[in-house]
Amino acid sequence: MDVVINVLIVVLAVAFLWSRFAPTKGVNQITTAQLGEMMKTKKTGVQYVDVRTPGEYKGNHIKGFKNIPLQQLANRTGELSQDKDVVVICQSGMRSSQASKLLKKAGFKNVTNVKGGMSAW
């Protein structure tokens, strides 16, 4: 009986971790190198969003990125157009992944997460 309970706990833990860290369906994933190429081409119709705190953003950010902290994003989606592509970055890629999920649930169609975030930039 103890073995069954232990296996169940492990399965539940793995399922929880998978749901938290697995890429969201419909969210594109790019590297910082791909982001650099995208920004060089100055593609129009792209909204760049940095979801780090204002202090992190002030310390170092990429020109052209708008700072909307993750904690405020749900209340500030109206500042973004659902018809345009959205590229999201944070420090490591974790918060931007959460932000990407939030934006997809809010109806944004073309959402891209920058893997590795500013740490990889």
**10 or 15: which carries more pLDDT confidence?**
10
Sequence ranges of the domains in the chain: 24-120
Q: Is the pLDDT of residue 19 over 70?
A: no
| CATH code for the structural domain at 24-120 | 3.40.250.10
Point out the catalytic residue in the list 35, 51, 70, 90.
Answer: 90
Report the pLDDT averaged over residues 3-26.
73
Confidence of residue 36 (pLDDT cuts 50, 70, 90): very high
Judged on CB neighbours under 10 Å (0-12, 13-18, 19+), 121 is middle
pLDDT, position 78? 96
Q: Is 90 one of the catalytic residues?
A: yes
Rounded to an integer, what distance in angstroms lies between the CA atom of residue 113 and that of residue 100? 6
- pLDDT class of 118 with cuts at 50, 70, 90: very high
Nearest CA among 50, 27, 32 for reference residue 102 = 27
**Measured distance CA(101)–CA(55) in Å, rounded:** 24
Give 10 or 100, the one with higher predicted confidence. Answer: 100
- In 3D space, the residue among 36, 25, 14 whose CA is nearest the CA of residue 97 turns out to be 25
